[in-house]
Amino acid sequence: MNVEEMIAELKKWQPDERDKFLRKVQAMRAEQEFKRRETEYDLQEEQNRKLSRKPRNESDDYGIPDYTP
């Protein structure tokens, strides 16, 4: 079913059914966005944790010692 057919089908529905459906779709989109951001945040948090565990004076990928206090 393409978008035009879906819009035509929605127009046939009663306003309360259409509103209920659209609210459900909005809620699903909001939940997906929340999960995406949560995953993104978790990945960033994990990356930061790995970086913070690096022992002092350990050389980086280029063989240059890291002398950060």
The pair of structure tokens assigned to 63 is 């063989």
Residue 69 confidence (pLDDT): 57
Domain with 28, as residue range(s), is 3-49
Q: What percent of the chain has pLDDT over 90?
A: 28
3-state secondary structure of 59: strand
The predicted model gives 20-30 an average pLDDT of 90
Would you say residue 14 lies in a domain? yes
Would you say residue 31 lies in a domain? yes
Would you say residue 69 lies in a domain? no
Residue 16 confidence (pLDDT): 85
pLDDT at 32 over 70: yes
What is the tally of structural domains in the chain?
1
d(CA 6, CA 11): 9
Would you say residue 60 lies in a domain? no
Would you say residue 61 lies in a domain? no
Residue 56 confidence (pLDDT): 56
